Structure 1
């Protein structure tokens, strides 16, 4: 089995761990696989983690750092479904990525594509992310 597949499978297993730290690690480890359906499903659940906001924040930050259309799309979907508390932590995670020492890939192109997404929830979430970033990426 290729190393990448093993890493993906291990991170998928961690995503359902009772430990918030393992779930947060899973969000970080799964972020580069945002375009893989199984990973995307797990990442969306981590973004909307009902047990610990640290999981939400760290997963959002990891996805924002990846910055691909698939990664930002997951954040947008989560934003559309989030309650006010979750939305605050999603916003904090995106902000953490934008102001971090390494910076993030330019999210503007991803947001532009998501503004034309077929799903209304994605368009709505991407618009909210644009407000958060206020020109700093979306």
Structure 2
């Protein structure tokens, strides 16, 4: 398991956007791991390719844990308008895709009371994007 984490962390540094997209997907399941969390926020705010932002947000929303949604919220709070649009698209992709992302609402509810103001702000945006998913 740690070997997969190490490989994905290395791939996240690649100049290739396709490898960074793959790293975002692979790292999403490690959202609880501090090393992965910092890298995931970086991928969510990727300045070189919007596909990295969108697909990493989608992967984290599909994981749906409190820690995964917290990372999206932190990115939303730090994002410029363009990045926020792509984060929103990624969350929508997860919510609308096969199987959806049923845990997002529960995670949003828990994070609405997070002690960090940036997380609460980001979660408010995610909740507004959820189109009928009550957070």
TM-score by length of 1: 0.95
Query: Per-residue deviation at 1:134?
Result: 3.0
Which of structure 1's runs of 4+ aligned residues deviate more than 4 A? none
Deviation at 1:136, TM superposition (A): 2.4
* Distance (whole Å) between structure 1 residues aligned to residue 108 and residue 101 of structure 2: 14
Structure 1 residues 118 and 70: CA distance shift in structure 2, 3 A: same
- Whether 2:12 is the aligned partner of 1:21: answer no
Q: Distance in 2 between matches of 1:88 and 1:76?
A: 13
1:1-138 equivalence runs, <5 A: 4-136=1-133, 138=135
Paired positions, count: 135
Could you tell me which runs of 5 or more consecutive residues in structure 1 were left unpaired when the two chains were aligned. Answer: none
Distance, in Å, in 2 between the alignment partners of 1:106 and 1:42 is 22
Query: Structure 2: how far apart are the matches of 1:67 and 1:105?
Result: 7
Shift of 1:137: 5.6
